[in-house]
Amino acid sequence: MNTLSEQIAEDLRLRLAEGLPEEGLTLSSLAAEYKVSVTPVRRAVGALVEEGLLARAENGRVTLPGGGSTPRRMARAPQMPVTPDLEGALAAEILEGSLRGSLRFLREETTAQRFGVSRTVVRQVLSRLAGRGFLLYLPRRGWQVRVLDEADMLAYLDVREVMELRALDLAAGRLEREVLERMLAGNDPAAGTIDNDLHGYLIERADNPYIADFFERHAPFYHAIFDAAAPGARLTREMAVQHQDILRALIGEDWEAARRALVDHIRAQLPVVRRLMDSLNRDGSALG
């Protein structure tokens, strides 16, 4: 199965051939659209830049080559159905089942009937969700909801902490002050805004393919879990403050303070998810 960044690159090739507007090419907007972290989007865009299908301006922004025109030599990718509503609905359904500890299977035929689409469309959507870590494909049995429990979350956060701290160590000295200051401005507790680009930026600047591979394979599922668990304004403000603490330490090149703030931020996510899991299992309420 293709990696997440390869799937995104394939989809972008199709969209570029159909005339994707240049204003839709920022990493943050693409990450939000694909519901993933910036890291796989950054790698997908990098691959397209190497192919000449995209270009980078002097300021680092992604642009269309040739002054904004779609390159003639671009090969049209195989048609992939655009099903954002179906994919979003299934992702929310799977996340809720995961948090409840449901071992249910999603059947292609019944899912296609339920949403009024073909089995081919459902299979492609389920394959993409499996690539993002939401489902497990079991031969001759089908697509199983990936169950999240506390031990699983602890194991992920433990490895994430090690990997992200190592990324910070490797990235130290390679960080751009203007980028950090932009992220700092994007995390505004008073306005209730949050900028999550920090994590992907540290991983990119670490320039270690094994660290990048870990986050590309495992982070999309957990990012979706965290987003579902922390939708409230109070938690958004808390996360913005945590990001500010990390960024201010990085800007000041206080690496030990940055490490401590990063650890605090990562560990603060477990109790948030635990409360959501308890709430779902106690009162049966749905996500959102």
Do the domains 84-145 and 4-68 match in fold? yes
The domain locations on the chain are 4-68, 84-145, 150-281
Whether the Cβ atoms of residue 223 and residue 37 lie closer than 8 Å to each other: yes
According to the model, what pLDDT value does residue 286 have? 53
Which segments in the chain show pLDDT lower than 50?
Answer: 1, 68-82
Amino acid at 114: R
- The CA–CA distances, whole Å, from 154 to 161, 219, 228 equal 10, 14, 17
pTM as predicted: 0.67
The backbone region for 19, taken as left when phi is positive above 0, alpha when psi lies in -120 to 50, beta otherwise, is: left
CB-CB neighbours of 247 under 10 Å: 24
According to the model, what pLDDT value does residue 160 have? 96
**Looking at domain 150-281, which of 1.20.120.530, 3.30.460.20, 1.50.10.10, 3.30.70.260 is its CATH number?**
1.20.120.530
Cα–Cα distance between 194 and 211 in angstroms, integer? 24
For 52-149, where are the alpha helices, taking DSSP H only? 65-68, 84-100, 108-115, 119-131
> How would CATH label the architecture of 4-68?
Orthogonal Bundle (1.10)
Closest CA to 43 of 30, 24, 57, 32: 30
According to the model, what pLDDT value does residue 240 have? 93
Cα–Cα distance between 130 and 264 in angstroms, integer? 30
> How would CATH label the architecture of 84-145?
Orthogonal Bundle (1.10)
Tell me the torsion sign for CA atoms 258, 277, 93, 238: negative
Q: What is the pLDDT of residues 3-12, one digit of tens each?
A: 677 778 877 8
